[in-house]
Amino acid sequence: MIDFLLAPWEHEFMRRAFLVAMMSGVVCGVIGSHVVLRGMAFIGDAVSHSVFPGVAIAFVFRFDLALGGAIAGLLTALSVAVFAQNKRLKEDTVIGVFFAAAFGLGIVILSSAPGYSGSLESFLFGQILGISDGDVRVVAIAGAVLLVAAAVLHKELVTVSLDRETARALGVRVFGFDIALYTMVTVAIVISLQAVGNILVLALLITPAACARLLTDRLGVMMVLAPVIGMLSAAVGLYLSYSLNLAAGGLIVLVATAVFLVCWVFAPRHGVLARFRPGDARGGTGVGAERRFRRASRP
């Protein structure tokens, strides 16, 4: 058992992989908690796919792929924030429009850039075993900045997520905090691309937070549980990848999904089995539990 735990750490590339994967799990767990609380998981999918044209443009013009993806993702997120201010359109509708447009643009650019398939594969599925020391530093710095920003803006982000109209009445700049959250989601996704790839990054952002949402009615506890689950899922997935010689990104996501399924069944108050416990006054799902969560979450 000890040999199994220590063996991967003998290799420098595995040490870098563990650091980046676990840091990504922590950052995505914190930012994902706000995404799940707000019910905007679709924005994570939209941003993760909207980096596609940026990566394609970066390849064509020979500059850093991650930088190109970050710029494209940020522009898409800001566009969604601007257009979603129109009350005639729901946020998920605007997200759908820009999600499709960004992916379509990426396909058009890709069709004009022969020889892109190799770079595209690492972008789609991650390249966590090829991470450099510079990549580790970038993820560490960007992740630390994100966590500090999330802590500083926590109260306002929660207020906007729970009740936008009340937030406006209290003088909270809703539009500004929309942009802040979309920007944080974009950065969290970009720094996690090397760990799990473009296709699977949404799972790292949403699944640990969804697990935490099932396990607790308190936002503070959720903010602790989600990054812990994300970090442990990343670590276990990498151990399995090393042992079984299978894709690291896919295994990280499958471990997180397995945790979600366990929480969905066995969560003390909101799991499937909790619904069949006779006389459990603490239980309850649906409107009552949601109201309790919102009351407990109010800053």
Over residues 124-140, the mean pLDDT reads 83
Q: From the options 3.40.470.10, 3.20.20.100, 1.10.3720.10, 1.10.3470.10, give the CATH code of 2-297.
A: 1.10.3470.10
Highest-pLDDT range among 8-17, 26-35, 55-64: 26-35
- The candidate with the shortest Cα–Cα distance to 47, out of 28, 26, 25, is 28
Over residues 259-284, the pLDDT tens digits come to: 999 999 999 888 898 888 765 544 44
Over residues 239-246, the mean pLDDT reads 91
How far, CA to CA in Å, does 212 sit from each of 32, 36, 223, 268? 10, 10, 8, 12
Q: What is the separation, in whole angstroms, between the first and last Cα of the chain?
A: 45
How far, CA to CA in Å, does 118 sit from each of 48, 59, 113, 122, 273? 19, 11, 12, 7, 47
Over residues 191-206, the pLDDT tens digits come to: 888 778 776 788 889 9
R_g (Cα) of the chain, nearest Å: 20
Model confidence at 236: pLDDT above 50: yes
Q: Which residue type occupies 209?
A: A
Q: What is the pLDDT of residue 283?
A: 46
The residue to which tokens 């802040």 are assigned:
180
**Dist. CA 88–CA 94, nearest whole Å:** 10
Q: Which residues contact 270 (CB under 8 A, 6 or more apart)?
A: 214, 215, 283, 285, 289
Model confidence at 285: pLDDT above 50: no
Residue of 253 and 130 predicted with greater confidence: 253
CA angle 45-78-194, nearest 5°?
A: 45
What are the residue ranges spanned by the domains of the chain?
Answer: 2-297
Q: What is the pLDDT of residue 288?
A: 54
Q: What is the pLDDT of residue 6?
A: 82
**Dist. CA 140–CA 240, nearest whole Å:** 24
Model confidence at 113: pLDDT above 90: no
Over residues 83-88, the mean pLDDT reads 74
Q: Is residue 217 within 8 Å of residue 289, measured between CB atoms?
A: yes
